[in-house]
Amino acid sequence: MLASYLHKNKIEVGCDEAGRGCLAGPVVAAAVILPKNYKQPLLNDSKQLSEKKRILLRTEIKEHAIAYGIGIVDHKEIDKINILNASILAMHRALDQIKNPFDSILVDGNRFKKYNETQHHCIIKGDGKYLSIAAASILAKTYRDDLMKKLHLKHPQYQWYKNKGYPTKSHRAAIKKIGISQYHRKSYRPVSYTHLTLPTNREV
């Protein structure tokens, strides 16, 4: 089972993001504070879990978390500031939603920018090591998946209900065939090479 904390005597908040490698849609981050005595053997990196298990765990995380927040940076902001800065900004926005005090931030990955004056720790593959980061990965992933399913209804030709905006073979083929939507990240190479954009009346 994953570790409950890095430092026993500190109030820690775990952070992670979802959607960094996608061609379309936002990047979404979550921040979660769990009780020190929280135990859940099924909780792990969201990428290692089935969609059904992620949805079940999302409900449990929300019920047991001391606090949690969601941060979103859309495709337009991503194109302006790049995906690394957008991912960090999304985590900062998620942390902004946490009203409870905390002493330390546990971040999945190896890059972060100081949030206020709070101590932070970057942990490579942290979503497979600490419960709070794993919980954040699940909230971020499930929240973003729901957003992409809604966007799929506007542009079903890209199959976002299935690929969630990731560069699957069918997604890239659709872009090549019909062009891009207003939700695509134009700064991404597979998208930037495509100059054809769907007509405005379909961009709703």
CATH number at residue 25: 3.30.420.10
Looking at the fold, whether 112 and 175 belong to one and the same domain comes out as no
Looking at the fold, whether 59 and 139 belong to one and the same domain comes out as yes
Alpha helices in the chain (DSSP H): 51-64, 75-81, 83-96, 131-154, 160-163, 169-178, 189-192
Residue 185 lies in domain? 154-202
Please give the C-alpha separations between residue 137 and each of 43, 133, 145, 176, in angstroms, as whole numbers: 10, 6, 12, 31
Give the tens place of pLDDT for each residue, 4-58: 999 999 999 999 999 999 999 999 999 999 999 999 999 988 888 999 999 999 9
Give the tens place of pLDDT for each residue, 55-81: 999 999 999 999 999 999 999 999 999
Looking at the fold, whether 147 and 179 belong to one and the same domain comes out as no
Looking at the fold, whether 64 and 106 belong to one and the same domain comes out as yes
* Cα pseudo-dihedral 8, 34, 127, 6, rounded to 10: -10
| Closest to 169 (Cα-Cα) out of 179, 158, 180 | 158
Looking at the fold, whether 64 and 32 belong to one and the same domain comes out as yes
Please give the C-alpha separations between residue 49 and each of 4, 23, 73, 181, in angstroms, as whole numbers: 19, 22, 24, 30
Looking at the fold, whether 146 and 185 belong to one and the same domain comes out as no
114 within a domain of the structure (yes/no):
yes
Looking at the fold, whether 39 and 64 belong to one and the same domain comes out as yes
Looking at the fold, whether 119 and 158 belong to one and the same domain comes out as no
Whole-angstrom Cα distance, residue 136 to residue 138?
5
Q: What is the model's pTM?
A: 0.92
Bridge partners for 32 per DSSP: 14, 68
7 within a domain of the structure (yes/no):
no
Looking at the fold, whether 22 and 109 belong to one and the same domain comes out as yes
Whole-angstrom Cα distance, residue 180 to residue 43?
36
6 within a domain of the structure (yes/no):
no
| pLDDT at 200 > cutoff 80 | no
169 within a domain of the structure (yes/no):
yes
Looking at the fold, whether 40 and 136 belong to one and the same domain comes out as yes
Looking at the fold, whether 136 and 91 belong to one and the same domain comes out as yes
Q: How many domains does the chain have?
A: 2
Looking at the fold, whether 118 and 177 belong to one and the same domain comes out as no
How many residues in the chain?
Answer: 204
